Amino acid sequence: MAALTSRRARIAVAVLVVVVLVAAPLFLPAIVNQSLVRIGVYAVAVLGLNIVMGYTGQVNLGQIFFLGLGAYVTAYGVTHGWNIVLVFVAAAVITGIVGLLVALAAARLGGLAIAMVTIALPIVGVPLAKRLDTFTGGSQGTSAIFSNAPDWSGLFNDQWQYYIVLLVAGVGFLLARRLVRGKYGRAFAVVKGNESVAASMGVSPYWTKVLAFTIASVFGGASGFLYMAAVQYTSPETLSFGHSISLLAAMVIGGAGSIVGSLIGGAYYIVVPQLTNAVDPNLTTISQGVILLAVLFLLPDGLVSLPRVLRRLTRRGTAARAGGALPAGAPSATEKHHSTTGTPPHHAPAQVQIPDAAPEAPEKTERHGRS
């Protein structure tokens, strides 16, 4: 019975959320809409990063490269008069192919070496974008205007852009949710936990990593398309290394291995620089570093775990919740950072756990229910 009501409640909340999301831009001022649009853009990029890093455990410092590539493909397609759906498909597929090629080499590296290879992507990408000026417009950058509201819609540009982002990001988030909760999500979790165990279970660590990386780059390409929809201009600066680090910070601060965390990460990416710039532009870098370290110190699972941590602090001792199977996963997800898992081969069995896919569901409904 409890399951039934919670299911109904979840559907009701979902419908409510959709209605609010669809109606919101009609009432909000343009500046807020623009911020929301950019949050959506980066949430999709962070979501891709989360799939390869949060869920599969492969540190990826090159996600911004795929955003930039997607943006350039979009600009190229739009300026050459392609159909806009074709442009989107091209942005996703071409970045996916590039991501696949990179992954075929990078995933051969064990452990942290993949991080050292992916760092090359933005660093090589910037001079490459300057060099290929026939496609990219060189240092000047290139612009593509396809996201102005058509006359029949009666909307303002910011509202129209909002709906483009909402549509793409919404579909992306639903697809990602299905992915990480299904068969591949379990494969990701086992590979993250221990590659030897994964291999012994018949899950190929190599191909799982390649798959996760490729999917992440497709999301990067899609976010590049959205970036062009929101900003209408891109230059080599878009894919600079500093932005890649910010993207990674956003993912960790939002919550690694969490779908909702990706959305929080996108919001962090947009909102915090605005705030720190308002205080003192010189301190932006410092505050980013401090915030990142502070979150890792206090909330190793990111901001998304804040309600869970608060609840644990307020209700210490009464950890058991109604709902039977669900609580088992929750503590293991939060405690994994305190356990001695630093030496993977020796603690193999303890590390294999289904990701916090299961506990995330009630978390999410409670979050929305509260707000």
Contact residues for another protein (CB under 8 A)? 53, 57, 59, 61, 102, 104-106, 108-113, 115-117, 119-120, 123-124, 127-128, 130-131, 194-197, 200, 241, 245, 248-249, 252, 256, 282-290, 292-293, 296-297, 300, 336-343, 345-346, 348
Smallest gap from residue 105 Cβ to another protein (A): 4
Residue 214 exposure: Cα atoms within 13 Å on the Cβ side: 15
Measured in whole angstroms, the distance separating CA 193 from the mean position of its chain's CA atoms is 20
- Which C-beta is closer to another protein: that of 75 or that of 249? 249
- Which C-beta is closer to another protein: that of 344 or that of 362? 344
Smallest gap from residue 49 Cβ to another protein (A): 12
- Which C-beta is closer to another protein: that of 195 or that of 363? 195
Longest dimension (CA), the chain: 64
- Which C-beta is closer to another protein: that of 148 or that of 196? 196
Smallest gap from residue 58 Cβ to another protein (A): 8
For residue 254 the two structure tokens come to: 């939002």
Contacts within 8 Å (CB) and 24+ apart, 312-320: none
Q: How many residues in the chain?
A: 371
Smallest gap from residue 92 Cβ to another protein (A): 23
For residue 234 the two structure tokens come to: 């891109």
* Contact between residue 95 and residue 70 where contact means Cβ atoms under 8 Å apart: yes
- Which C-beta is closer to another protein: that of 35 or that of 341? 341
- Which C-beta is closer to another protein: that of 83 or that of 134? 134
Closest by CA position to 70, among listed 43, 90, 49:
90
Residue 83 exposure: Cα atoms within 13 Å on the Cβ side: 3
User: Which residues, listed in sequence order, are joined to residue 234 by a DSSP beta bridge?
Assistant: 142
Measured in whole angstroms, the distance separating CA 219 from the mean position of its chain's CA atoms is 8
Smallest gap from residue 254 Cβ to another protein (A): 13
- Using CA atoms, how far apart are residues 342 and 360, in angstroms rounded to an integer? 25
Smallest gap from residue 172 Cβ to another protein (A): 23
